[in-house]
Amino acid sequence: MTATPSKTMAALWMAGWLALMLVMAVAGRETTRELSVFQIMEVRSVIGFFLLLPFILRAGGFKAVTAHRLPQHLARNGVHYFAQLGWFYALTLIGIGQVVAIEFTMPIWTALLAATFLSERMTVWKIAAVVLGVIGVVMIVRPATGEINPGQLIALGAAIGFSISMILAKSLTRTESALSILFWMIVVQMVVGLLPTLYVWTWPSAHMWGWLFVIGVCGTFSHYCLASALRYADATIVVPMDFLRVPLTATAGWLLYSERLDAWTVLGAALILCGNLLNLKPASVVPARAQ
């Protein structure tokens, strides 16, 4: 199911991912004021299932989302569920800009896992993109020396989980469509979260239903964008593009919640942008040898 490699197409799909994830971070911050994280995750999956149905029917019915590698789907989405659970919970403990910034230790794990298990080549430009991105993230977070914040540790654990999920998703794109990957993500997470949700269930207020719907839409179609991007480029190219979510979320946190946005944040964002530009640099063409 892998498409013809194209960094341009991967970048366009990642632009959709960035926009939807930014909106979901804000919606997640709002819903955790009133609702359990388990409940948010379950309602998101149910809404996502019904949003996806028209696309499944258009593609020819449920035959179009047949799982060719069900164990990998189960593994990927089990890991992703608990990583996403940690991500939402971290939003209740620290600012959204910091949650997303810590999440971007993920490319370190992703690059190592992709090179080890997917045989992806680590070029100088890919390494430079990761290094500059990580330095930019550290500048934005600037954790206090000796201070351990549970929210930061949970966000870090979520980042490791997301990296494993990313590698498994890239592997699945070799045989599965983006629609199939998304369908099984929703179904597995809906089943896993059902019992905890029933245990903590409280009826959301009217305006909370609006935020939950936003999370359902963004959570569903953001992953369709991500799966599509991974069909056009290696994980080590796609993931560093996601670094742009750090300055975008930091700006949203400053505008909406008066979270810190200072010179260090701006400098960190600049390094992240430079890393992305290096990552998109075309590979050198090796001249043909004379006959």
pLDDT score at 81: 92
pLDDT score at 196: 92
pLDDT higher for 267 or 291? Answer: 267
* Per-residue confidence band for 118, with pLDDT thresholds at 50, 70 and 90: low
Name residues whose C-beta falls within 8 Å of residue 11's C-beta, 6 or more positions apart in sequence: 229, 241, 280
Over residues 243-256, the pLDDT tens digits come to 788 788 888 888 88
Q: Which two tokens stand for residue 266?
A: 């701006």
The least confident of 35-39, 112-116, 170-174, 219-223 is: 112-116
Report for 146-155, 219-228, 280-289: range of highest mean pLDDT: 219-228
In degrees and rounded to multiples of 5, residue 164 shows phi and psi of -65, -45
* Per-residue confidence band for 99, with pLDDT thresholds at 50, 70 and 90: confident
pLDDT score at 286: 47
pLDDT score at 231: 82
pLDDT score at 105: 73
Please determine, for residue 228, whether its predicted confidence score (pLDDT) is greater than 50: yes
The least confident of 18-22, 118-122, 152-156 is: 118-122
Please determine, for residue 130, whether its predicted confidence score (pLDDT) is greater than 90: no
Over residues 56-80, the pLDDT tens digits come to 999 888 888 888 889 999 999 999 9
pLDDT higher for 85 or 278? Answer: 85
pLDDT score at 147: 62
Longest dimension (CA), the chain: 75
Please determine, for residue 113, whether its predicted confidence score (pLDDT) is greater than 90: no
Return d(Cα 39, Cα 55) in angstroms, integer.
25
Please determine, for residue 55, whether its predicted confidence score (pLDDT) is greater than 70: yes
Return d(Cα 226, Cα 178) in angstroms, integer.
9
Task: Say if residues 8 and 227 touch (Cβ distance below 8 Å).
Answer: no
By percentage, how much of the chain surpasses pLDDT 70? 88
- Which pTM was predicted? 0.73
Q: Looking at this protein, which amino acid is placed at residue 6?
A: S
* Per-residue confidence band for 284, with pLDDT thresholds at 50, 70 and 90: low
DSSP 199-267: HH--PPPHHHHHHHHHHHHHHHHHHHHHHHHHHHS-HHHHHHHGGGHHHHHHHHHHHHH-----HHHHH
By percentage, how much of the chain surpasses pLDDT 90? 26
